[in-house]
Structure 1
Amino acid sequence: MNLSVLMLSSSRSGSEDYLQHAIPLIDLHLSEIKEIVFVPYAGVSISWDDYTTKVQKALPNYHIKGIHQFPDTQEAINNAQAIMVGGGNTFNLLYQLYQHNLVNAIRHRVSQGSPFVGWSAGSNICGNSIRTTNDMPIIHPPSFEALDFVPFQLNPHYSDFQPPGHNGETRAQRIQEFCILNPNMPVIGIREGSALLLQGNSLLLKGSLDAVVFEGETQNVIKPDQHLTGYLTR
């Protein structure tokens, strides 16, 4: 399938304004497309209307409409020129996608060539499942299975920083636990400000920061603009 998927780790990079670091990548990814269906379902402490407005203000060169504002959500996805999914709580996002029967609809539309842009939770659902999200399971979706645009797990907002005096597990330790129980399923941790770009049979790390791939008992560093096509055939 000729998928076109931009998986941003975060909505912000450092102290930059909302989505500002991502605009060049989004513009290049969407090319001439200006009509976007936005999925705000990951928003819990923000209303979906307010969330959509926030994204509209951050991306004023696009015509963005929240999927909840359409009378028929399935039809909205089926006719979408491009699909954009924001961050928030990954469990609530996937729960709502299943509630509205949109998981297969999004898969199908993107398989037809409609570009997809996600950040944070919106990127988490691009992997095989959401089992490596950083979020609390505040609601129980029918399944942890996600969009499976890429046949591995994602961990957006990846960081190996451990605050002084903090005695809890690091992010790497939590991912290693997953890999112990799932030794054949890679996990790619992408740092804030970075992204994975899937275009057909090509997968690249974009941004200026390294990423980390966990697989079995190994960890390997991924460099910016490094080709990761081998991870698409697993």
Structure 2
Amino acid sequence: MKKMLIASTSTLYEGTYLDYLQKELQEFFTGVDEIIFIPYARPGGISHDAYTEIAQQAFKHIGKSIIGLHRFEDPQKALKGAKGVFTGGGNTFLLVSQLYKFNVLSRLRQRIFEGMPYFGTSAGSNITGVTMQTTNDMPIIYPPSFKTLGAIPFNINPHYLDPVSGLKHMGETRETRIKEFHTYNSIPVVGLREGSWLDVKGDQITLKGALSARVFKQAEQAYELATGSLVEL
């Protein structure tokens, strides 16, 4: 049975890395001592080791050990034996490119469907959907495919922002861009606002956190999904 925690962001305004999810993560990773961290999403400026250390500092508060996937000579074998996985945020194009490069996307999908706990934030949440096409990131690198894990039957738009009332101009809104996506694609999209996450247990998906989510379907009016509700798309 799938067990996933799909969060919009790792850090809330004026908060620290993963602090708002500490209690949730402690329960989510019950029985898991060591978690494999996938640091591939972070572009230049911070090393995989440094990014992994940031994750380790957050997880040490709940008694969990973190080891970066980049540290394994055989990443496929590492994922095969993993007790839990966390994929951090960054650039989704880079993340997907690296997952294909190291040939681990299918292995990760397999482990998720076997019931291995999977936690993702931002780019790490984007890849849980059918495709990565509703990311907010710039295409700094071209992945072999936009197809991702397909662990949930819709796409994610993390860091979803609402139009600012009364503002004369703020460019194209997230809603506008998602509607453009639906001009050519029928995959539903869930816009996750900051501080919100999806709790996946098997085929049951529940929205959690302080804020509602925005749901988009092709040729239909977008609507709000209240926190605590089941996501049924």
TM-score, shorter chain, exceeding 0.5: yes
Q: Decide which of 69, 72, 75 is 1:67's aligned counterpart.
A: 69
Name 1:180's counterpart in structure 2.
183
Q: What amino acid sits opposite 1:154 in the alignment?
A: I
Matching of residue 213 in structure 1 with residue 212 in structure 2: no
In structure 2, runs of 5+ residues without a counterpart are none
Following superposition of structure 1 onto structure 2, how do residues 23-42 of structure 1 map, counting pairs within 5 Å? 23-42=22-41
Deviation at 1:167, TM superposition (A): 4.2
* Cα distance per residue 1:202-231 (max 9 Å; x no partner): 100010101010012310101011011x32
* Cα distance per residue 1:164-215 (max 9 Å; x no partner): 4534101111011111222x32100000110011101210001010101001
Contact 1:162 1:170 in 2 (8 A): no
Q: Which 4+ residue blocks in structure 1 deviate beyond 3 angstroms?
A: 161-167
For the residue of structure 2 that corresponds to 1:59, the secondary structure is helix
Give the stretch that moved more between structures: 28-37 or 159-168: 159-168
Name 2:19's counterpart in structure 1.
20
Contact 1:35 1:82 in 2 (8 A): yes
* Cα distance per residue 1:6-37 (max 9 Å; x no partner): 10100112211111011122112111212100
Length-normalised TM-score, structure 2: 0.95
Contact 1:159 1:171 in 2 (8 A): yes
Counterparts of 1:37 and 1:167, CA distance in 2: 39
Name 2:55's counterpart in structure 1.
55
Deviation at 1:121, TM superposition (A): 0.2
Counterparts of 1:167 and 1:106, CA distance in 2: 38
Matching of residue 5 in structure 1 with residue 4 in structure 2: yes
Counterparts of 2:170 and 2:72, CA distance in 1: 47
Q: What amino acid sits opposite 1:176 in the alignment?
A: K
* Cα distance per residue 1:141-162 (max 9 Å; x no partner): 1000000001111000001144
Matching of residue 189 in structure 1 with residue 186 in structure 2: no
Counterparts of 1:84 and 1:7, CA distance in 2: 10
Name 1:169's counterpart in structure 2.
172
Counterparts of 1:22 and 1:15, CA distance in 2: 14
Contact 2:113 2:151 in 1 (8 A): no
For the residue of structure 1 that corresponds to 2:222, the secondary structure is strand
Following superposition of structure 1 onto structure 2, how do residues 67-146 of structure 1 map, counting pairs within 5 Å? 67-146=69-148
Matched length:
228
Length-normalised TM-score, structure 1: 0.94
For the residue of structure 1 that corresponds to 2:181, the secondary structure is helix
Deviation at 1:133, TM superposition (A): 0.0
Q: What amino acid sits opposite 1:35 in the alignment?
A: E
Q: What is the percentage of aligned positions where both structures have the same residue?
A: 42
In structure 1, runs of 5+ residues without a counterpart are none
